[in-house]
Structure 1
Amino acid sequence: MASDDCRKDDLLEDNRTDSGIDSYRSILKSEERREPSADFSGPRDKCPAGEERLDSAYGSSSITVESLSEIVVGCTLSSAQEERAQSSELTEQEENLLTTITEDGDTILHLAIIHEDRFIAQQLIQLFPKEVLDIQNNLYQSPLHLATYLNLTDVVKGLVEKGASLELQDQEGNTALHVACQHGQTECATEMTREISPSKLAPVLETQNWRGLACLHLAALNRQHQIMKLLGKKEADLNIQEGTSGKTALHLAAELHDITSVKLLLSRGANVDAAMFNGCTPLHLAVGRQDAAIAHLLCQSGADTMLRNMEDETALDLADGNDDILALFPFDDIQISGRSVVSVKF
């Protein structure tokens, strides 16, 4: 278990944008690199249930909405200042703004988003170079993660247009698109995928969080049908397997008795006979959960009723005498695993 934790920490370190402020400052002054936060020691413990609200900077930071406004006033770059920025000659005030990080690892942009100040956030997005936009705080949240969680669609749009990375993962392994899929932030998901080609979006859609879930899995688990449609249009792999048991989104929908998702996935070409690591198909799961409606839909879509899992069971073996489900299987006076299936009429 300890080795698993070490591997997770290594993955976190690999996926964290390392001190973008430091790299930017080194460009400005070529001075010695500093750490983002004096007390940084890796990801914090997961917040208790019901306390998903971002990080300790929210509500506890000494920087208020009013002080944010005061800090930002006069710092929006004019055309002349933009030219200076391009030549690495910023004023001291602008440099201080760029290089400010709280003990929680938040930049002033993180804080503006946490305070849901869209106007200041947009100004900072225009002011900051891309390296700063991608800085992750001590919870490995980028500004894009926070803007998505808070459903600040216009801020998400501004960040994406400025080139903020979609591939960064937070301490749970979630990208910002994972967050949108989990919480049903359809407009944010739309902005993150609008102008990106399928080839560039594919790695993001295939990224699994630390629970082995890709974006489509989270959308299915949370019955986010609009986002599932969006991901389908963006050519997401409908048959991608989650990392723990090999379930596809269709398996998850069958488990949840979510016939809407089942119909949606089948209509877009999901593999009706996809097998989990243990050999179970969506039909195995539907029958095992006594869901005749979904089992019927899967059979109508061509599900193979004779496929066996690693326990050498067909879906019929799991019917457990349910007449509605037994009626789906085309057997006449045949015994399966010692049980009689008699006179089924079609």
Structure 2
Amino acid sequence: MSQQDAVAALSERLLIAAYKGQTENVVQLINKGAKVAVTKGDQTALHRATVVGNTEIISALIHEGCALDRQDKDGNTALHEASWHGFSQSAKLLVKAGANVLAKNKAGNTALHLACQNSHSQSTRVLLLAGSRADLKNNAGDTCLHVAARYNHLSIIRLLLSAFCSVHEKNQAGDTALHVAAALNHKKVAKILLEAGADTTIVNNAGQTPLETARYHNNPEVALLLTKAPQVGFTALSMVLIMWGYRVGTPGCSLLKPLQTNLNRECNQAVEV
């Protein structure tokens, strides 16, 4: 066997060991000269370890200098994989090592888009804290808020709003996140967006406001909500309150009971706090 063939064999074993979580084998194979090989899908050992969320292997590969931002055939980096699968500890290791949180795959999605799509709250937090930008758009023009609204992920929407993402961005169809919620009959999403100050007068490429979109798709409950919706100022205070799970902008009371906690504060008590 030639030296080149020997290295190729070691590298193939490295991919398998990384996927199976064989930490000692990974280190030994690298020490023996295994190269950062790729699979048929252009995935490296780091991709393979991240797919299964093996932090030991990921740490070992990072220590050995494995390329953090190598993209596979779909343009996904290891951070995309960690975010898609919801392995927040893996994502944390990668961003601490310097992985690019703004890298886009071939669909234009960042790792944050993927975490939001699959409702991985902790991974979303990790990425936002690492500097990922919620308002970056994919090839369809969708921001992370569009994605979260489409998949009806309320907790993700609150996280994005707490990071001061824009509620007014349009995708390539001219739709805001509120248009998306209106089209898909996601009433709770629409309510949160309205409380965050979403503009009900914006029209999409079809010339429709969110209300007209709701009516077009025969979603009477969302249509009624939009008909009655006040325009709420999108202030720093409202963002902090949304982050902590409060409803804001409700007539007669600026704060209602938290959405995500079991606290039973009355409006005046909450205001005093």
TM range (shorter): 0.7 to 0.9
- Asked whether the 8 Å contact 2:200–2:226 carries over to 1, the reply is no
Q: Could you say if the C-alpha distance between residues 163 and 213 of structure 1 is closer, same or farther in structure 2, counting changes exceeding 3 Å?
A: same
Aligned position for 2:152: 257
Q: 1:163 aligns with which of 65, 87, 111?
A: 65
Q: Could you say if the C-alpha distance between residues 97 and 123 of structure 1 is closer, same or farther in structure 2, counting changes exceeding 3 Å?
A: farther
Letter in 2 for 1:297: I
- Asked whether the 8 Å contact 2:11–2:29 carries over to 1, the reply is no
Aligned position for 1:176: 78
1:293 aligns with 2:188: yes
Alpha-carbon separation, structure 1, partners of 2:72 and 2:28: 24
Q: 1:186 aligns with which of 84, 88, 93?
A: 88
1:108 aligns with 2:13: yes
1:150 aligns with 2:55: no
Deviation at 1:226, TM superposition (A): 0.6
Cα deviation per residue 1:189-246 (whole Å; 9 max; x = unaligned)?
11111242xxxx4xx3232223332211111111111100000000101111111x11
Residues 38-187 of structure 1: pairs in structure 2 closer than 5 A: 96=3, 99-102=6-9, 106-128=11-33, 132=35, 134-187=36-89
TM-score, normalised to structure 1, is: 0.60
Aligned position for 2:137: 241
- Asked whether the 8 Å contact 1:292–1:325 carries over to 2, the reply is no
Contiguous gaps of at least 5 residues in structure 2: 232-249, 252-273
Alpha-carbon separation, structure 1, partners of 2:157 and 2:109: 18
Cα deviation per residue 1:260-279 (whole Å; 9 max; x = unaligned)?
11100000111111110121
Letter in 1 for 2:83: C
- Asked whether the 8 Å contact 1:180–1:189 carries over to 2, the reply is yes
TM-score, normalised to structure 2, is: 0.75
Q: Could you say if the C-alpha distance between residues 157 and 98 of structure 1 is closer, same or farther in structure 2, counting changes exceeding 3 Å?
A: farther
Aligned position for 1:89: none
Deviation at 1:165, TM superposition (A): 1.0
Q: 1:313 aligns with which of 205, 208, 220?
A: 208
Aligned position for 2:241: none
- Asked whether the 8 Å contact 1:110–1:142 carries over to 2, the reply is yes
| Equivalences, count | 227
Aligned position for 1:41: none
1:326 aligns with 2:240: no
Alpha-carbon separation, structure 1, partners of 2:52 and 2:188: 37
- Asked whether the 8 Å contact 1:254–1:262 carries over to 2, the reply is yes
Deviation at 1:128, TM superposition (A): 4.2
Letter in 1 for 2:82: A
Q: Which runs of 4+ in 1 moved over 6 A?
A: none
Aligned position for 2:125: 229
1:280 aligns with 2:175: yes
Alpha-carbon separation, structure 2, partners of 1:178 and 1:309: 30
Alpha-carbon separation, structure 2, partners of 1:192 and 1:97: 30
Q: Could you say if the C-alpha distance between residues 184 and 311 of structure 1 is closer, same or farther in structure 2, counting changes exceeding 3 Å?
A: same
Q: 1:304 aligns with which of 199, 202, 209?
A: 199
Contiguous gaps of at least 5 residues in structure 1: 1-92, 331-344
Larger radius of gyration, structure 1 or 2? Answer: 1
